[in-house]
Chain A
Amino acid sequence: MADIAVTEVSKGLRDAIARLETGENMESTGVVTRVGDGVAWVHGLRNAGYAEVLEIQTKQGVVEAFALNLMEDEIGAVLLGSDKDVVAGDPVKLKGVVLEVPVGPELLGRVVNPLGQPLDGGPAITTKENGLVERPAIGVMGRKGVHEPLMTGIVAIDAMFPIGRGQRELIIGDRQTGKTAITLDTMINQGRQKTGVVNIYVAIGQKLSKVARLVERLKQEGVMEQTIVVATGPSDPASLLYLAPYAGAAMGEWFRDNAKHALIIYDDLTKHAVAYRQMSLLLRRPPGREAFPGDVFYLHSRLLERAAKLSDELGAGSLTALPIIETQAGDISAYIPTNVISITDGQIFMETDLFYQGIRPAISAGLSVSRVGGDAQTKSVKSVSGRLKLGLSQFRELAAFAQFGSDLDDATKKQIERGQRLTELLKQPQYSPLSIWEQVASIFAVNEGHFDNVPREKIKDAQAALLAKLAKEHRKEMDALNTGSEKIEADSATGKLLAKVAVAAAKGFEQ
Chain B
Amino acid sequence: MNGKLSRRKLAQYVASRVQGGHVPEAVLQEVAAYLVESRRVREMPLLVRAIEDALLEHGVVVATVTSARPLDDTLREAVKAQAGGAEVHLREIIDSSVLGGVRLQTPDALFDGTVQHKLQALRAAKV
Given A5-B89, A20-B32, residue A13 in contact with residue B48 (CB < 8 A): yes
Query: When chains A and B are docked, how far (Å) is the Cα of A167 from the Cα of B57?
Result: 66
Query: Are the C-beta atoms of B89 and A6 separated by less than 8 Å?
Result: yes
B14-35 at interface with A (beta carbon < 8 Å) = 14, 18-19, 21-26, 28-29, 31-33, 35
Point out the residues of chain B lying under 8 angstroms from A20, CB to CB.
32-33, 36
Query: When chains A and B are docked, how far (Å) is the Cα of A405 from the Cα of B118?
Result: 103
Query: Are the C-beta atoms of B25 and A12 separated by less than 8 Å?
Result: yes
B33-79 at interface with A (beta carbon < 8 Å) = 33, 35-36, 39, 41, 44-45, 47-48, 51-52, 55, 60, 62
Point out the residues of chain A lying under 8 angstroms from B39, CB to CB.
46
Query: Are the C-beta atoms of B28 and A13 separated by less than 8 Å?
Result: yes
Asked if A9 is an interface residue, CB under 8 A from chain B, the answer is yes
Point out the residues of chain A lying under 8 angstroms from B41, CB to CB.
17, 21
Interface flags, B82-116, vs A, CB<8A=1, else 0: 00000001110000000000000000000000000
Asked if B6 is an interface residue, CB under 8 A from chain A, the answer is no
Asked if A407 is an interface residue, CB under 8 A from chain B, the answer is no
Asked if A2 is an interface residue, CB under 8 A from chain B, the answer is yes
Point out the residues of chain B lying under 8 angstroms from A6, CB to CB.
18, 21-23, 51-52, 55, 60, 62, 89
A10-52 at interface with B (beta carbon < 8 Å) = 10, 12-14, 16-17, 19-21, 46
Query: Are the C-beta atoms of B23 and A12 separated by less than 8 Å?
Result: yes
Most chain B CB within a 10 A radius of its CB, from A16, A17, A19, A73: A16
A333-386 at interface with B (beta carbon < 8 Å) = none
Asked if B2 is an interface residue, CB under 8 A from chain A, the answer is yes
Point out the residues of chain A lying under 8 angstroms from B1, CB to CB.
73
Query: Are the C-beta atoms of A17 and B32 separated by less than 8 Å?
Result: yes
* A108 → chain B closest CB, angstroms: 46
Point out the residues of chain B lying under 8 angstroms from A17, CB to CB.
32, 35-36, 41, 44
Most chain B CB within a 10 A radius of its CB, from A2, A13, A17: A13
Query: Are the C-beta atoms of A4 and B62 separated by less than 8 Å?
Result: no
Tell which of B23, B31, B62 touches A3, judged by Cβ atoms closer than 8 Å.
B23
Interface flags, A176-210, vs B, CB<8A=1, else 0: 00000000000000000000000000000000000
Query: Are the C-beta atoms of A14 and B23 separated by less than 8 Å?
Result: no
Query: When chains A and B are docked, how far (Å) is the Cα of A1 from the Cα of B90?
Result: 23
Asked if A7 is an interface residue, CB under 8 A from chain B, the answer is yes
Given A6-B55, A6-B62, A7-B91, residue A13 in contact with residue B22 (CB < 8 A): no
Query: Are the C-beta atoms of B48 and A9 separated by less than 8 Å?
Result: yes
A-B CB contacts (within 8 Å), total count: 74
Query: When chains A and B are docked, how far (Å) is the Cα of A451 from the Cα of B47?
Result: 88
Point out the residues of chain A lying under 8 angstroms from B22, CB to CB.
3-6
Query: Are the C-beta atoms of B51 and A1 separated by less than 8 Å?
Result: no
Query: When chains A and B are docked, how far (Å) is the Cα of A73 from the Cα of B1?
Result: 8
* A23 → chain B closest CB, angstroms: 10
Query: Are the C-beta atoms of A5 and B32 separated by less than 8 Å?
Result: no
Query: Are the C-beta atoms of A4 and B26 separated by less than 8 Å?
Result: no
Given A16-B28, A21-B36, residue A9 in contact with residue B45 (CB < 8 A): no
Point out the residues of chain B lying under 8 angstroms from A2, CB to CB.
25
Point out the residues of chain B lying under 8 angstroms from A4, CB to CB.
22-25, 28
CB-nearest residue of chain B to A1: B25
CB-nearest residue of chain B to A47: B39
Query: Are the C-beta atoms of B21 and A1 separated by less than 8 Å?
Result: no
Query: Are the C-beta atoms of B47 and A13 separated by less than 8 Å?
Result: yes
Query: When chains A and B are docked, how far (Å) is the Cα of A507 from the Cα of B120?
Result: 103
CB-nearest residue of chain A to B38: A46
Query: When chains A and B are docked, how far (Å) is the Cα of A73 from the Cα of B52?
Result: 31
Given A3-B25, A4-B25, residue A13 in contact with residue B44 (CB < 8 A): yes
Interface flags, A116-128, vs B, CB<8A=1, else 0: 0000000000000
A69-97 at interface with B (beta carbon < 8 Å) = 72-73
Query: When chains A and B are docked, how far (Å) is the Cα of A9 from the Cα of B63?
Result: 13
Most chain A CB within a 10 A radius of its CB, from B1, B25, B32, B89: B32
A463-508 at interface with B (beta carbon < 8 Å) = none
Most chain B CB within a 10 A radius of its CB, from A2, A7, A21, A46: A7
Most chain B CB within a 10 A radius of its CB, from A1, A4, A9, A20: A9
Query: Are the C-beta atoms of A9 and B51 separated by less than 8 Å?
Result: yes
Tell which of B2, B4, B23, B29 touches A9, judged by Cβ atoms closer than 8 Å.
B23
CB-nearest residue of chain A to B3: A72
Q: Nearest 9 A-B pairs (CB), nearest first?
A: A16-B32, A3-B22, A7-B91, A1-B25, A10-B48, A17-B32, A20-B36, A12-B28, A4-B23
Query: Contact residues of A with B, CB < 8 Å?
Result: 1-7, 9-10, 12-14, 16-17, 19-21, 46, 72-73
> Can you list 27 pairs linking A and B with CB atoms under 8 Å apart?
A1-B25, A2-B25, A3-B24, A4-B22, A4-B24, A6-B21, A6-B22, A6-B23, A6-B51, A6-B52, A6-B60, A7-B62, A7-B91, A9-B14, A9-B23, A12-B25, A12-B28, A13-B28, A13-B35, A13-B48, A14-B44, A17-B44, A21-B36, A21-B41, A46-B39, A72-B4, A73-B1
User: Beyond A9-B23, A17-B44: 7 further Cβ-contacts under 8 Å?
Assistant: A5-B89, A6-B55, A6-B89, A10-B45, A13-B48, A14-B44, A73-B2
